[in-house]
Amino acid sequence: MSVVSPASRWVPTVAPAPSAPRTSARHETKERRSRRALAGAGALNVAALVFFVVTLFPVYWMVLTAFKPTGDIITPTPDFSPLHPTIAGFVDAIHKPFFWDYVSNTVIVSVATVAISLVVGVLAALALSRFRFKGRKTYLIVLLAIQAVPQTALVIPLFFTLQTLHQLNELLGLTGTYVIFDLPFTVWMLRGFVQSVPADIEDAAMVDGCSRLGAFRRALLPLIAPGMVATSIFAFIQAWNQYLFADVFMQLNTRYTLTVWLQSFETNRGTDYSGLMAGSVLYTLPVVLLFVLVQRKVVSGLASGAVKG
Amino acid sequence: MVAIEPKPLSGASVRRAGGESGPGGRGPVGRLRARFDWMPYWLLAPSAALIVLLIGYPIVRLFETSFQVLTLDQLFSHKTIWNGVDNYRTIFTSTSFWDSVLRTVLFTGACVVGTMVVGMAVALALSRLSRLVRGAVSVAMVLAWAMPPISAAIVWQWLFANQYGVVDWVLTELHLGTFQNFDWTGQNALLAFVVITMMIVWQAVPFVALSLYAGITQVPQELYEAARVDGAGAWALFRRVTVPLLTPIIGLLVILSVIWDFNVFTQIWVLTQGGPNGGTETLGVWSYVTAFSANTFGVGAAASVVSMFLVAVMSFYYVRVLVRSGEVR
């Protein structure tokens, strides 16, 4: 996404002719202006602080609650400091029945989704960025449109489809439904990375005797590898975060994913916030780490690619 | 989610077509392409097959289902009973359906306006803050952005819990009234929507603010200087320089936000399950409840077809903006 900026659109306003006497008045306004600027900067920093606190607080509160002893969580006056940290909540969460099943279900489905999307996606990205052919634009538009389809609309027919195929409660069936949204996104993102590599590189490889596919594999693929890593991480995060499909299609309590599991902490005795927040932290942490990693990878990957190319 | 396209390395080297390498002089790849080239179609075949199987077929099935009586009876007896447009007649004469449509429109509007206004304010502020403060605010935003929706919803539920929720305590301490054991999501649909909207805006602002900020840093400073010389104040600079130059990116962000917020399900479901009394049922929640809680799948499917149609209209504008800005090439 870039800012397309036709400078011509901007029409300078007609300057008001300065009418006031210039000498002393100018000095005064300058001083007043700088004082006002100072006050403005102060207000701006206060606003930034408020925004910072409001933005970060939910994250902080989740982590803090996860590390609190149960007795300190439900208190009339909330405790805002991490004074008595404990990992009891985490131990509690990990020892919930089937916890490791949920972890492995989530990992398997997410990794499988990424693997399928990546392999199929690279091929499609090659076609869409290295060839001009009939139907190309239509295909791109279809990819965009799919990503806008509401999950709530697809969940009904997918439920029946999986039922017909005996794939309810099966990791394979769930993976298929995750691919729906990961694939278009992967193709779209990989296409951007392929486009960023000049095609001359493959041309040169072909002059040196590579076949067309060989040129893709030997010349192009190493160059887009960092992009593929970044794309897979984004795709992994998206699969990891899925909730609705897992909730509807995985009804067997050994087949839940972590998102569905997190929804099961509400007992009729109230919510187990210590375990719930610890579980949320465990579930959230990989995603946040990967997210931060990706941002760096995208930058460094592109930079190193530029040096190589 | 819609892809955030990575920026190409350098503008000039990226585009193959155009420029010096015309259709004639394209090197070996181009010259090999004298006959009809099947290669791109082979490369597309696997993804096309998956798309047809995983999305095409379910969409056809959704349409089919929307013309059928489909409840638990038919599910177990495997009987197909067609009932024409009865399901559509049912939803179009149902007040709760129209309420949910109206709610979805208002909710989407509130989320989009909130996100864009706050996002723009933050983006403008970012460009004026010191590096340290900007860094701190950015880190906070990336963390909020990276939170999985389900975790976000669970934490917000805890923040606004009616027993020992921290928001109740803060508001009471600030002497804004007695908020002890205040039920945010269970008694008043409007209040519940306020909480949900704040949560959506909280998570959506980082992407919007950082995108707008990236755009603002690309605006040539000379334009501001020229405008200042012409006597423009801060508001005029914003209205006449920043906004016009950012119009393409703003347009894209608005359309994306509309699509995303229209499709919000997880957060609403975790916080209210559509309650109190169906008061927070948006179109998606309504069709889900109708299908999977009331077990009237045919009626739910009809409502889903309607929401697909609405999304199609929205993505038409989305695609048009992308085509015009040269992203679909």
Are A136 and B40 in contact, with CB atoms under 8 Å apart?
yes
- Cβ atoms within 10 A of the Cβ of A94, count? 15
Q: State residue B12's pLDDT score.
A: 36
Q: State residue A83's pLDDT score.
A: 82
Q: State residue A16's pLDDT score.
A: 35
Give the start-to-end residue ranges of the domains of chain A: 37-86, 97-308
What does pLDDT average to over chain B?
86
Q: State residue B297's pLDDT score.
A: 94
Q: State residue A101's pLDDT score.
A: 94
Chain B residues with CB under 8 Å of A48 CB are: 125, 129, 133, 137
- Cβ atoms within 10 A of the Cβ of A12, count? 14
Quote the CA–CA distance of A74 and A90 in Å, as a whole number. Answer: 17
Q: State residue A281's pLDDT score.
A: 94
Q: State residue A123's pLDDT score.
A: 95
Q: Encoding tokens for residue A120?
A: 């199929």
C-alpha distances in Å from residue B153, one per residue of A61, A274, B113, B186: 13, 16, 21, 15
Q: Encoding tokens for residue B320?
A: 């048009």
Q: State residue A238's pLDDT score.
A: 92
Task: Search chain A and give the residue with CA nearest B286.
Answer: A152
pLDDT digits (tens, 9 = 90+) for A135-185: 999 999 999 899 899 999 999 999 999 998 999 999 999 999 999 999 999
Contact residues for A130 (Cβ-Cβ < 8 A; gap 6+): A194, A199, A202, A216, B16, B29, B40
Quote the CA–CA distance of B120 and B36 in Å, as a whole number. Answer: 49
Q: State residue A27's pLDDT score.
A: 55
All residue ranges of chain A with pLDDT < 70 are 1-31, 33, 266-270, 295-309
Chain A residues with CB under 8 Å of B291 CB are: 155-156
pLDDT digits (tens, 9 = 90+) for B163-177: 888 998 999 888 887
Quote the CA–CA distance of B111 and A125 in Å, as a whole number. Answer: 34
- State how far Cα A131 lies from the chain centre: 29
C-alpha distances in Å from residue A6, one per residue of A101, B22, B124: 55, 26, 21
Are B88 and B66 in contact, with CB atoms under 8 Å apart?
yes
Q: Encoding tokens for residue A258?
A: 């972590």
pLDDT digits (tens, 9 = 90+) for B258-300: 999 999 999 999 999 988 989 999 999 999 999 999 999 999 9
Residue B327: closest CA among B256, B261, B242, B236: B256
3-class SS of residue B272: coil
Q: Using CB atoms, which residue from A187, A248, A306 is nearest to B9?
A: A306
Chain B residues with CB under 8 Å of A152 CB are: 263, 265, 283-285, 287-288, 304, 307
A294 to chain B, closest Cα gap in Å: 11
pLDDT digits (tens, 9 = 90+) for B29-45: 554 545 788 899 999 99
**Per-residue pLDDT for B78 more than 60?**
yes
Q: State residue A267's pLDDT score.
A: 60
Task: Search chain A and give the residue with CA nearest B10.
Answer: A196
Confidence of residue B248 (pLDDT cuts 50, 70, 90): confident
What does pLDDT average to over chain A?
82
Quote the CA–CA distance of B21 and B19 in Å, as a whole number. Answer: 6
3-class SS of residue A134: coil
The percentage of residues in chain B with a pLDDT greater than 70, rounded to a whole number, is: 89
C-alpha distances in Å from residue B303, one per residue of A263, B66, B76, B207, B257: 26, 8, 23, 31, 22
Quote the CA–CA distance of B252 and A2 in Å, as a whole number. Answer: 10
Kindly report the CATH number that applies to the domain delimited by A97-308.
1.10.3720.10
Q: Using CB atoms, which residue from A62, A243, A273 is nearest to B266?
A: A243
**Phi, psi torsion values for B58, nearest 5 degrees:** -60, -35
Chain B residues with CB under 8 Å of A44 CB are: 125, 128-129
**Interfacial B residues in 196-255 facing A (CB < 8 Å):** 202, 205-206, 211, 215, 218-220, 223, 226-227, 229-232, 236, 240-241, 244-246, 248-249, 252
Q: What is the ipTM of this complex?
A: 0.84
Cβ burial of B85 (10 Å; 0-12, 13-18, 19+) is: exposed
- A263 and B150 within 8 Å at the Cβ level: the answer is yes
B117 touches chain A (CB under 8 A): no
Confidence of residue B181 (pLDDT cuts 50, 70, 90): confident
Residue A154: closest CA among B84, B301, B72, B290: B301
In order of start, what are the domains of chain B with their CATH numbers? 94-324 (1.10.3720.10)
**Interfacial A residues in 235-264 facing B (CB < 8 Å):** 238, 240-241, 243-244, 248, 259, 262-263
For residue A271, what are the β-bridge partners?
A: A266
Q: State residue B203's pLDDT score.
A: 94
Are A223 and A309 in contact, with CB atoms under 8 Å apart?
yes
Are A114 and A239 in contact, with CB atoms under 8 Å apart?
yes
Q: State residue B5's pLDDT score.
A: 44
Quote the CA–CA distance of A79 and A177 in Å, as a whole number. Answer: 42
- B151 and A280 within 8 Å at the Cβ level: the answer is yes
Chain A residues with CB under 8 Å of B211 CB are: 1
Task: Search chain B and give the residue with CA nearest A191.
Answer: B5
**Per-residue pLDDT for B49 more than 70?**
yes
Quote the CA–CA distance of B200 and A239 in Å, as a whole number. Answer: 20
3-class SS of residue A247: helix
Task: Search chain B and give the residue with CA nearest A276.
Answer: B154
